[in-house]
Structure 1
């Protein structure tokens, strides 16, 4: 049972989107991460990634992922071939091939979400998430975090 970083899941989503000829913007990526988290809760009864999702003006956002890819603006995010990581006691990043390690079931859930949403615009997904209780109950609150409990309540009980 793995719990990933949202950045690793985002990289997988970006590459899979390119594989199915449906590249995506950062805005759309954010909505897909929200739906992926909800589907992991519904199907596997656990979160996919440990990062918080926050309720922002344009719907759910994972701040670390948003920051990582904001340079693309509203353009499609490029395919991820390599990542740079720091190793312990090293001061230079090491270039590594990006190869996510997901179980078949985890990959199927993520791919299912991407396939289900590939023909929807980012703006449609913003409106959709705005109509759902996790965003509605979190937007404008103390820290805007959409709690796992709210997501579980919405994705698992409805």
Structure 2
């Protein structure tokens, strides 16, 4: 199974350098929409509700202290399936032209982050919550 670093590497290969906050949000939306469109997660690492929105702790630890990022040392996009790449591509097609703050603000308006954060900062956002919320707003395929 692919991991969060594989997905992050693919996003950076497709979009180029970006802020670490924006990368975290694109990772989140890739995972969220994968649960709806593919009925599966892209990576097994947990997503947590942090103050600035959803964060995968392992990716945060890898990029800690860096404002902009152009690569992660632990990932390879070759570990992603074609379906996973297609899902990420669709997510990037919609979200990648938005800035990090816009993406963070959007996550704060959506139920998965709000539900987890209401239970306490750094609470896990469960895949079931992603499916429930994003399938209710899913565009026609």
TM-score (ref. length: structure 2): 0.87
SS at match of 1:55: strand
Q: Distance in 2 between matches of 1:138 and 1:99?
A: 29
Rg: which structure is higher? 1
1:46-65 equivalent positions in 2, closer than 5 A: 46-65=40-59
Ranges in structure 2 where 5+ consecutive residues have no aligned partner: none
Cα RMSD for the two superposed structures = 1.9
Q: Is 1:10 matched with 2:37? A: no
Partner of 2:107: 129
SS at match of 1:100: helix
Alignment size in residue pairs: 136
By how many angstroms is 1:98 displaced?
4.2
Partner of 1:103: 81
Would you tell me which structure has more helix in proportion to its own residues? Answer: 2
Ranges in structure 1 where 5+ consecutive residues have no aligned partner: 85-96
Partner of 2:133: 154
Q: Could you give the per-residue CA deviations for residues 56-106 of structure 1, whole angstroms, max 9, x where no partner exists? A: 000000000011012312xx21245xx46xxxxxxxxxxxx9452323222
